[in-house]
Amino acid sequence: MGATTAEQGEAAEEGEINPFTNKPFSDKYRKILAGRRKLPVNKHRKEFLDLVQNNQVVILVGETGSGKTTQIPQFMVFDDLPAFKGKKIACTQPRRLAAMSVAQRVAEEMDVVMGQEVGYNIRFEDCTSERTMLQYMTDGMLLREAMNDPLLTRYSAVILDEAHDRTLSTDILMGLMKEIIKKRPDLKVVVMSATLDAGKFQKYFDDAPLMSVPGRTFPVEIYYTPEPESDYLEAAIFTALQIHRTEDAGDILLFLTGEEEIEDACRKIKAEADQMPDAGPIKVYPLYSTLPPQAQKRIYDDAPPPRTPGGRPGRKVVVSTNLAETSLTIDGIVYVIDPGFSKQKVYNPRIRVESLLVSPISKASAQQRSGRAGRTRPGKCFRLYTENAFMKELIETTYPEILRSNLGTVVLQLKKLGIDDLVHFDFMDPPAPETLMRALELLNYLGALDDDGNMTPLGSTMADFPVDPQLAKMLITSPQYGCSNEIMTIVSLLNVPLVFMRPPDQRKMADEAKAQFSHPDGDHLTLLNVYHAYKTSGEDQKWCYDNFCNYRTLKSADNVRTQLKRYMERADLDLVSLPFDERPKGPYYTGIRKALCAGYFMQVAHQERSGNYLTVKDNQVVRLHPSSCLDHASEWVIYNEFVLTNQNYIRTVSEVRAEWLLDIAPSYFDLDSFPNCEGKRVLEKLIMRRKSSSSRERDDDEDERRKNRKSDRGDRDRKDSKRRR
């Protein structure tokens, strides 16, 4: 960093000529500058520069509206300018949209062209140039850069913004920064957080100095219920209606947990409010991330006017998931209803399953929610729980993601970053040892780590791919099975939301449309069929609509595929296909299914004589998800996803053969490590038979046996011929 003062920085900003472009400042610039001077953080410029010039790490707490995200990076870039050595300043954001919009805003504030001196870098979009001095980016993007440049030599300073969010990437970056600063005394690190939890950050960074900037919001009155509510949904709807009938003008934001609940609540609120003779008109909008963007935008519509001039005010009600807690802000909200729940990811290392659970929120989250009522004027927040519950039952902050996730990718990334000793890596919150063990075990079976836990060349290549380790393994192995083109497609589709649409009122038609793409050997090949049909249609939006496929999803899958292809080429992997063969059991499809096994051999289920499926090794009883196109005649299946709801479902499933599993993953299918179950006995017999005859003959026999088994079923052939495309 430089040695400039706040006065010098301000003088440069108020001069005639823009020091970054050597052009005169515009009028618009001066107008914006006047507004910037009023931001709370502006009073702390001197204090900040003193701290950052004299310390390698600075922690900054800035509440909502303090201006930290836009101003702090500018303070630094002005300080950097006189002695600029060609190194950039990075400012990370957990979300892409934030990185883009903040960069746009700062480019305007600095009177430069976006992508020149100020830019952003997110997946699929690098909007920077050689001139770029200040770069906003996603935290995941900086992490990926670190994997190829472990000392982050391109940067003079790294600002980790929204650190209180504690995303996986931010947590790893923080640990990494602690390592890097030892080797890069010239690198400055600023950790910015919006919560009072900053003491924890300060301690983690060896008592780095802490600077605190107040926010600029309006007061929000908090109301608690006197007694606990037995049904939060009912209470929420009641409260919304009560506000509508009795409170002054101002919009309502209600937090619920998921799509179905939200749609249901919207209908009920609308229906009841329309029947209230003494209340104004009402507009109710749902908000969740899978809602099409067009529908999402409606939350910004104005509230309806009163029915008669001077009558009861019209009102807008937004019923939202956590999306409105941090990612999106809606101006004009005056009333917030907080039932105190959200869906949260939890990871169970014992059965290796991530699932979503409706759980009580944290105090920090409750505060964030109530703050949403005070963005434009004083507001009110109705918490549908008791004050006592808030004080005594809610945890302080939501558990960071690293404590709630499967860490396969994280461990691989850390290894790639050169962190050999994971057990002693300085996590801000160390994950459970069992979770780390599970990750190491997975990576070892996949061949990414050797038996000593060191990264193999395969693991190093796997880490380069922006997908789960299993999928990376599939991609890298796929040329050996002659089907990398097809595996790229399947992996892309597994990395986007569900392609198949199923509107509640057109289920039958949607299912029929989907049946056209069904492949008898499973859902992975069905995905491949859809993609081919989409490409054949000329990537036609109408075709998607007519066939109940999500156009946006297919488009983004194609985007992902293009990126994967670049990574394949970079890794010098062949892009190949087997000659197409219409037979479902022909080599074209068999090759693809074998490649699937190479990544997913740890997610296998075996059908017992009872008809139940049991997951291999963990012996969990599971059922095929009803959306699966596979019927129940498949003895061995691999699955992409274990869905834990009222039932245990496996979703996105394909039929495989025991022989392939034994060949592809002999160490995982070492029967000594198997608990007793039918599947184990089947494999034992298979191994015995293989010992007594050559495996090639045996495989042919097996093929024959299966063919007979299937054609026993009268309807099966008919179905096959209908499904085959």
Binding site for DNA (CB under 7 A): 94-97, 122-123, 138, 140-141, 144, 167, 169, 257-261, 288-290, 321-323, 327, 342-345, 356, 358, 409, 466-467, 495, 497-498, 502, 507, 511, 625-627, 643, 645-647
Instruction: List the beta strands (DSSP E) in 161-303.
Output: 188-193, 210-213, 220-224, 251-255, 282-287
CA distances from 679 to 114, 548, 611, 630 (A): 60, 38, 13, 19
CA distances from 139 to 114, 122, 144, 158, 162 (A): 20, 9, 9, 11, 10
Number of H helices and number of E strands within the chain? Answer: 27, 23
Residue 144 or 380: the one with the smaller Cβ distance to DNA is 144
Residues whose CB falls within 8 Å of the CB of residue 616, separated by 6 or more in sequence, listed in order: 602, 604, 605, 606, 674, 679
Residue 59 or 475: the one with the smaller Cβ distance to DNA is 475
Please report how close the Cβ of residue 580 comes to DNA at its closest, in angstroms: 29
Residue 90 or 661: the one with the smaller Cβ distance to DNA is 90
Q: Under a CB-based contact definition with an 8 Å cutoff, are residues 106 and 76 in contact?
A: no
Find the helix or strand (DSSP H, E) in which 257 lies.
none
Please report how close the Cβ of residue 255 comes to DNA at its closest, in angstroms: 11
Residue 56 or 326: the one with the smaller Cβ distance to DNA is 326
Residue 240 or 412: the one with the smaller Cβ distance to DNA is 412
Residue 259 or 703: the one with the smaller Cβ distance to DNA is 259
Cα-based torsion angle of the residue sequence 82, 87, 91, 94 in order, rounded to the nearest 10 degrees:
170
Buried b (16+ CB within 10 A) or exposed e, 444-463: bbbbbbeeeeebbebbebbb
d(CA 79, CA 67): 18
Residue 614: Cβ within 10 Å count: 20
Residues whose CB falls within 8 Å of the CB of residue 300, separated by 6 or more in sequence, listed in order: 330
Side-chain half-sphere exposure of 91, counting CA atoms within 13 A:
29
Residue bearing tokens 């900037």? 213
Return the biggest CA–CA distance within the chain. Answer: 92
Please report how close the Cβ of residue 349 comes to DNA at its closest, in angstroms: 16
End-to-end alpha carbon distance in the chain = 63
Please report how close the Cβ of residue 523 comes to DNA at its closest, in angstroms: 12
By C-alpha distance, which of 608, 634, 618, 443 is closest to 522? Answer: 634
Find the helix or strand (DSSP H, E) in which 205 lies.
none
Please report how close the Cβ of residue 358 comes to DNA at its closest, in angstroms: 6
For CA atoms 624, 629, 634, 637, the dihedral sign is negative
Long-range contact pairs involving 6-12 (C-beta distance under 8 Å, separation at least 24): 6/45, 6/46, 6/49, 6/75, 8/78, 9/45, 9/49, 9/75, 9/78, 9/79, 10/45, 12/78, 12/81
Please report how close the Cβ of residue 644 comes to DNA at its closest, in angstroms: 8
3-state class of 4 per DSSP? coil
Residue 257 or 640: the one with the smaller Cβ distance to DNA is 257
Residue 505 or 672: the one with the smaller Cβ distance to DNA is 505
Burial of 168 (0-12, 13-18, 19+ CB in 10 A): buried
Residue 578 or 644: the one with the smaller Cβ distance to DNA is 644
Please report how close the Cβ of residue 164 comes to DNA at its closest, in angstroms: 14
Please report how close the Cβ of residue 510 comes to DNA at its closest, in angstroms: 8
Please report how close the Cβ of residue 653 comes to DNA at its closest, in angstroms: 13
Q: Phi/psi of residue 353, each to 5°? A: -125, 130
Residue 110 or 137: the one with the smaller Cβ distance to DNA is 137
Please report how close the Cβ of residue 324 comes to DNA at its closest, in angstroms: 9
Find the helix or strand (DSSP H, E) in which 358 lies.
strand 353-360
Q: Under a CB-based contact definition with an 8 Å cutoff, are residues 687 and 680 in contact?
A: no
Q: Under a CB-based contact definition with an 8 Å cutoff, are residues 604 and 656 in contact?
A: yes
Q: What does the DSSP assignment read for 462-517?
A: HHHSSS-HHHHHHHHHGGGGT-HHHHHHHHHHHTSS-SB---GGGHHHHHHHHHTT
Question: For residue 278, what are its two tokens?
Answer: 């003494």
Residue 508 or 542: the one with the smaller Cβ distance to DNA is 508
Please report how close the Cβ of residue 478 comes to DNA at its closest, in angstroms: 18
Please report how close the Cβ of residue 343 comes to DNA at its closest, in angstroms: 3
Please report how close the Cβ of residue 398 comes to DNA at its closest, in angstroms: 9
d(CA 649, CA 354): 13
In one letter, which amino acid is 291? Answer: L
Alpha helices by DSSP H, listed for 37-157, are: 45-54, 68-80, 96-109, 139-148
Please report how close the Cβ of residue 501 comes to DNA at its closest, in angstroms: 9
Please report how close the Cβ of residue 640 comes to DNA at its closest, in angstroms: 12
Residue 97 or 432: the one with the smaller Cβ distance to DNA is 97
Residue 36 or 123: the one with the smaller Cβ distance to DNA is 123
Residue 117 or 171: the one with the smaller Cβ distance to DNA is 171
For residue 131, the 8-state DSSP code is T
Please report how close the Cβ of residue 239 comes to DNA at its closest, in angstroms: 20
Residue 167 or 193: the one with the smaller Cβ distance to DNA is 167
Residue 401 or 635: the one with the smaller Cβ distance to DNA is 401
Side-chain half-sphere exposure of 481, counting CA atoms within 13 A:
27
Residue 304 or 360: the one with the smaller Cβ distance to DNA is 360
Residues facing residue 437 across a β-bridge: none
By C-alpha distance, which of 56, 49, 54, 53 is closest to 71? Answer: 49
Please report how close the Cβ of residue 672 comes to DNA at its closest, in angstroms: 34
Residue 502 or 565: the one with the smaller Cβ distance to DNA is 502
Please report how close the Cβ of residue 138 comes to DNA at its closest, in angstroms: 4
By C-alpha distance, which of 272, 436, 414, 256 is closest to 336? Answer: 256
